Structure formats: structure tokens, C-alpha cells
Amino acid sequence: MSKKPLRIGLVGYGFMGRTHSNAYRQVDHFFDVPYQPELKAVCGRDRAKVAAFAERWGYESAETDWHKLVDRKDIDVIDIASPNDTHAEIAIAAAQAGKTVLCEKPLGRNLQESRAMVEAAERAGVANMVWYNYRRVPAVTLAKQLVEEGRCGRVFHYRAKFLQDWTISAKVPMDGQGLWRLNADVAGSGVTGDLLAHCIDTAIWLNGPISEVTAATETFVKERESTLTGEKREVKIDDASAFLARFANGSLATFEATRYALGHKALYTLELNGENASIAWDLHDLHRLQYFEYSDDGRLRGWRSIHITEGEHPYMKQWWVPGLQIGYEHTFIHQVADLLQGLAENKMRGPSFRDALATEGVVDAVLESARTGQWVKCKA
């Protein structure tokens, strides 16, 4: 009724443009939030496509130049969902224009871009957030609660991987419609910035800072056709990336990401082993958490498969009834719900640009270690 409007300008109408738009449209159907998102404008380079997107999702207007979006006085939030090579420039301009800035992950293509983004946002004093959406999977949020309650005790191990298989065929082109992720100039890196960044963000959130890493990357298919030029070009991104890490808390970790693990579509898995409890989760069954507690009666100790659909589980009271699961896009709705609450209370819930910079620091260390063959200390 008396909800304040929050006027959104979205840049990008691809996969992430859809997830964000859906979140804005859905959030107040399920959450009692202090703001009402208003979809003022969406911006993209292809006039016809951006217009169609605007109509489908109910944006009041469409732009083809993001500068216009930044200049518009009727927009409070610039939400960046365009390819990685545009993040820094837009975010900095938006911050300087005093907008709240939301940015898809990763922050920049590299540490330098990312630092500039953090600096711009903090200097301008604008609210900011990065869409590391997996923090808002209810099972993952529950894991965070359990760690914060001290249920795990001293942590010995952390392990995460993100396995896909969509680039095994050498016929997948390097670029063209929606395929910028194989182009190093646009993406910055391959799976390290795309997939491992998710793993790293959650890992730091759950288990604290990562101190140092040793890494290996691989490019299995060396050349791919560019559908833009019709020619074969050298593939410069990392097809696969793995690293060992030491956390500041003394725990030892393994991380791996690839797009060459046949049979796995988006298998993001994580596990944390503490002295009193262990926790495991995977994205292919995102509505479950695996939990093992040492204090259970010895005969009856076992991994509990917790079906995360109860009112007591994070975010779930807002959805359906016990037993009925939610899916992927809900993580973005949760993130918007937290964003709106955070803005109203002037107490943002993160991850902020600065939080994301810590992840970029690890990404940078991983890529450096893969180049040099040395252990590299992480810095942000």
C-alpha cells in the first residue's frame, strides 16, 4: 500500500537479465518487503530484442545505450547483467551518478577492474551488491547459520567443485549469440571466474579468508570457430581449473571447476568437515542439506538428508508447505528480498562489492599460480 517504489534500470537481457527481472516481479508476491520494485527501463544493444524483453517482463521503457540509463533521474538502481567486459565501466559510472549499483558476478574481469569498482562505489557511498546468488539457496543459508552457531567446531576441511559438460564438443563456437563465456577478452577468464568464483564466494562466507593457493588450469580444446568472423581462433580461457588452498583458520581445501565433466550439468558441490559436525550440499538437489553430527548416539549416527522445505528453514516460510520444493530462480528472489530490507534499514546484507573483491583476489591468485607453478598468497 504505502510501499516506497524502487526504480530499476537493468543492463542486459540475457540469462541473468531474466533471473533478475523475475526476482523483481516475484518478490512482493511472497515476501513482505519495504520497497516495491518498479521496472523503469532495460538496456541492450539490439533494439528489437531489448524491446521484446521489455514487453515480456513489463519494463516501462527500453534503451540501447547504458549511459542514458545512468543519466535518467527516474532510476534509483542500476543493475548490471551484461557480459563481464562491461561491468567495470558501467558500475563506476553508475556509482558516480549516485545510483545504487547491483552487479552480476564476477565483479570485474580482473583484480584491477574489480578494485576500481570497489573504490568507485565506496567513494560515492552508494549501496552496492553482487549477485552471488547461491548464498541464498535456503540449504546454503542454513549451512551458514550452523557454522555461525558454532555447531561444527574447529574446521579441518573444505571442498568444493563446480562441474559442467557443455563445451566438450569441439564444435561449440567461441562466440556469437550468448557465447561470450569462451572469449577471454570478454569473460576475463574461463571457469575460474565463471564457476570457481561461485565456489570461492560461498567458501569465504562459510569458512573465512583463503590465505594461499596452488593451482592448475587446462585448455582442452585449443581452437574454436568464431561465429562472428567464421575463422578458427585460439581459445585463451581456462576450460578447467583446480586448486588447493589453505584458509586462515588452518583448514585445508580442494577446489575444482570444469566444463568437461560429462554427466554433470551444473554440479556445484560443497562440503565442510568440522570436529563436531560436517555439512554437505549440491546444486543438483539444491533443496536438500546433508548434515552429520558427532553428538548423535553412536549407533544412530548417519548423514541426515534434510529436505529443506520446512517453515523453520531460511526463506521457506514464505513459499509453500512442507515437502514442496523450490528451484533455482528463487535464490534471486531471496536476494532481492534481502536487498530491499537492507536498503530500508540502511544495513546491506551483502555480498557487497568489497566482499566480492575478496573472491576476485582468490581468482587472481589461482590464475597466477596456474601460470607460475608457485603457491600464491591471496590478496584483495
- Closest distance of CB 266 from a copy of itself, Å: 3
Segment lying near a copy of itself (by CB under 8 A), choices 49-57, 99-107, 118-126, 200-208 = 49-57
- Closest distance of CB 13 from a copy of itself, Å: 13
- Closest distance of CB 224 from a copy of itself, Å: 16
Of 106, 188, 274, 361, the residue at the interface with a copy of itself (CB under 8 A) is 274
Read off the C-alpha cell for 97.
551518478
Of 82, 273, 335, 359, the residue at the interface with a copy of itself (CB under 8 A) is 273
Contact 310, 288 (CB under 8 A): no
In angstroms, the CA 286 to CA 306 distance is: 11
* CA-wise closest residue to 97 among 64, 121, 81: 121
- Using CB under 8 A, count the residues that bind a copy of itself: 93
Q: Does 293 bind a copy of itself (CB under 8 A)?
A: yes
Q: Does 156 bind a copy of itself (CB under 8 A)?
A: yes
280 pairs with which residues across the strands?
Answer: 271, 290
Of 49, 233, 246, 349, the residue at the interface with a copy of itself (CB under 8 A) is 246
Stretch 5-24 residues interacting with a copy of itself (CB under 8 A):
15, 19, 21-22
Segment lying near a copy of itself (by CB under 8 A), choices 83-91, 95-103, 139-147, 359-367 = 139-147
Q: Does 48 bind a copy of itself (CB under 8 A)?
A: no
Q: Report phi then psi at 86, rounded to 5.
A: -105, -10
Which amino acid, residue 109?
A: R
Q: What angle do CA 346, 350, 353 make, to 5 degrees?
A: 105
Contact pattern for a copy of itself over residues 214 through 243, marking x by CB under 8 A: xxx-x-x-------------------x-xx
- Closest distance of CB 343 from a copy of itself, Å: 20
Secondary structure (3-state) at 121: helix
Read off the C-alpha cell for 112.
584491477
Q: Does 287 bind a copy of itself (CB under 8 A)?
A: yes
Of 85, 260, 342, 344, the residue at the interface with a copy of itself (CB under 8 A) is 260
Q: Does 124 bind a copy of itself (CB under 8 A)?
A: no
Contact pattern for a copy of itself over residues 158 through 177, marking x by CB under 8 A: -x-x-xxxx-x---------
Q: What angle do CA 91, 196, 133 make, to 5 degrees?
A: 55
Segment lying near a copy of itself (by CB under 8 A), choices 179-187, 193-201, 271-279, 343-351 = 271-279
Q: Does 125 bind a copy of itself (CB under 8 A)?
A: no
Read off the C-alpha cell for 234.
585460439
Q: Does 55 bind a copy of itself (CB under 8 A)?
A: yes
Q: Is 336 exposed, middle or buried (0-12, 13-18, 19+ CB in 10 A)?
A: buried
Secondary structure (3-state) at 161: strand
Contact 162, 198 (CB under 8 A): yes
In angstroms, the CA 253 to CA 272 distance is: 9
Segment lying near a copy of itself (by CB under 8 A), choices 78-86, 256-264, 338-346, 348-356 = 256-264
Contact 164, 195 (CB under 8 A): yes
Read off the C-alpha cell for 47.
533494439
Segment lying near a copy of itself (by CB under 8 A), choices 62-70, 96-104, 183-191, 282-290 = 282-290
In angstroms, the CA 215 to CA 246 distance is: 12
Q: Report phi then psi at 127, rounded to 5.
A: -65, 145
